[in-house]
Structure 1
Amino acid sequence: MNNIDDVVRVQFGVDGVAEVVLTRPTKLNVVNLRMRDALIEAFAAVRDFPDLGALVLRAEGAHFSAGADISEFGNAESVFEARRIRWDRDPWYLLWSLPIPKVVALHGYALGSGLEMALLCDLRIAAYGTKVGLPETKLGMLPAAGGTRSITAWVPPSKAIPFIMAGEAIDAAAARDLGLIDEVLPEGVDVDDAAMAYARRLAALPRAAVRAALSASKAAHELPLREGLVAERRLAYLTGQFNYD
């Protein structure tokens, strides 16, 4: 177990499951620069840890995350300095590119950067009563922690674009119907336990095959069809699944 700057905790289990836990509950787990730096450190530790089977991303307190810490907005010396800091401290692509399945446990509010983190994971499980949304447009901003791109990995643009523009929060059932959430738990069921159970099932599978399947699935989304098929065949070859066609 490792606490990073008191805002993020990393744990590595003997079952091959890593946990990254947001630990700023008195501030609704909003993402400030300290937490961004801690998340970079945490995700890098997960990336570099040998032979992991899955990751669970979860949070302490009443809410997963209410988004970015807007109290820090405007504190940089200039717009250019703010942009430089944002690019230099970018945990989002690091999370997306982790080569293992990522299961996120959502509860309470998952807004702005909180929802964007979830969209960079591979499976989103929500507790009963969870609210999700991208409120940035109401604040005159853009959901720029990957939100405008990652959402279309799960939701067709015809539904994603109105959701982004409106900036409204919706409940877990509506989010599931939209495609933002994979599973909504019944009232009283612990979302952290459910996420961990799912991650352990994934970690018990042949890990090279699971990693290859994840990589091929991402290639299918990110690459043109022909290049995606080539990537899939290459990954099948690397896992010993030869194809002589």
Structure 2
Amino acid sequence: MPVTVSVDPDGVALLLLDRAAKRNALDIAMVESLRDAVAQIAVRDDVRVVLVRGAGGTFCAGADIADWVSPSHDVAERNSRLGQDAFGALAALPVPSVAIIEGGAYGGGLELALACDLRIAAADATLGLPELGLGNLPSWGGTSRLVDVAGLGVARHLLLSGELISGARAAELLVVTSAHPAAELDVAVKETTTRLLGAEPTAVRLAKEFLAGARTTLTGEDALAGYTACLDSSRRRKQDFLDRKAAARAAKAASTSPTEGTAS
């Protein structure tokens, strides 16, 4: 399964994005697996804290662009709603959730991190919302969550500019809760988890319910994402992105191939 769940004796659930070969990019099958994994956690009485992490040293490279090159309008809207439902279910869990961000959290990956209650990042991680450069809008609830977390000014800057920022800068802008040297990331996660486990579970559930009522809601996000995904200019930009990636992989493979006649 591309998303797995494990629970330790203390009630800490690890929700692992396990598609390292693709830097944990979220294709539709992976979003469905994420939704199902969250549903598993939701019915367990022994889970007290949820950690969300990516395998292979990268949190999540975002939505798999291959799914968004040429979808029909209906498919694009459906995919948008699927992500919103999966991320919304994560946000609605009655226990606190923590995104552990290392490597990169781009586009849908940052949206996933924003669906968690807290975000702990490596200082050298990279975060951003590059969707507009590919002709799309964020479609999985990230825009409204970013406004809630960091304010409208920060949301405007990251969305409109597409700038990728470091984990350290993200902490300054309140996009992440804290940032730490990579070697100290696991210690910081452990300290935060210990504090979360010390809270009374019923009080935590009620606090989350209360805070959910204060969330900003931006209507029409799935419809707008569906519209932009079907624009010819949007499709060309995403196809160009995939072509550049393929060319880079081919060039890398060619440069690392043994030269004919070279002794092994």
What TM-score do you get using the length of structure 2 for normalisation? 0.76
Q: Tell me which of 150, 153, 171 is aligned to 1:155.
A: 150
Q: Tell me which of 35, 41, 64 is aligned to 1:40.
A: 35
Q: Deviations over 1:95-138 (max 9, x none)?
A: 11111111110001111111111111111101131110000011
Using the TM superposition, give the Cα deviation of residue 192 of structure 1 relative to its aligned residue in structure 2, in angstroms: 4.1
Q: For residues 184 and 48 of structure 1, do their structure 2 counterparts lie closer, same or farther at Cα, with a shift above 3 Å needed?
A: same
1:110 equivalent in alignment to 2:138: no
Q: Tell me which of 120, 125, 134 is aligned to 1:139.
A: 134
Q: Work out the CA distance in 2 between the residues paired with 1:149 and 1:177.
A: 19
SS of residue paired to 1:188: helix
| Structure 1 unaligned spans of 5+ | 224-245
Identity of aligned residues (%): 35
Residues 64-83 of structure 1: matches in 2 within 5 Å? 64-76=59-71, 78-83=72-77
| Structure 2 unaligned spans of 5+ | 218-264
1:195 equivalent in alignment to 2:181: no
Return the index of the structure with the highest Cα Rg: 2
Q: Tell me which of 213, 217, 232 is aligned to 1:219.
A: 213
SS of residue paired to 2:16: strand
Q: Tell me which of 7, 11, 14 is aligned to 2:6.
A: 11
What TM-score do you get using the length of structure 1 for normalisation? 0.82
SS of residue paired to 2:154: helix
Q: Tell me which of 166, 176, 182 is aligned to 1:181.
A: 176
Residue 223 of structure 2 is matched in structure 1 by none
Using the TM superposition, give the Cα deviation of residue 36 of structure 1 relative to its aligned residue in structure 2, in angstroms: 0.5
Using the TM superposition, give the Cα deviation of residue 184 of structure 1 relative to its aligned residue in structure 2, in angstroms: 0.7
Q: Stretches of 4+ moved more than 6 A in 1?
A: none
Residue 240 of structure 2 is matched in structure 1 by none
AA of the residue aligned to 1:180:
V
Q: Work out the CA distance in 1 between the residues paired with 2:103 and 2:69.
A: 28
Which stretch of structure 1 is more off in the superposition, 129-138 or 146-155?
A: 146-155
Using the TM superposition, give the Cα deviation of residue 81 of structure 1 relative to its aligned residue in structure 2, in angstroms: 2.7
Q: Deviations over 1:216-241 (max 9, x none)?
A: 22323459xxxxxxxxxxxxxxxxxx
Q: Deviations over 1:50-70 (max 9, x none)?
A: 142111111111311111100
Q: Work out the CA distance in 2 between the residues paired with 1:148 and 1:18.
A: 27
Using the TM superposition, give the Cα deviation of residue 196 of structure 1 relative to its aligned residue in structure 2, in angstroms: 4.0
Using the TM superposition, give the Cα deviation of residue 203 of structure 1 relative to its aligned residue in structure 2, in angstroms: 1.9
Q: Work out the CA distance in 2 between the residues paired with 1:151 and 1:160.
A: 6
Q: Deviations over 1:9-62 (max 9, x none)?
A: 101121011110111111111000111010011001111111421111111113
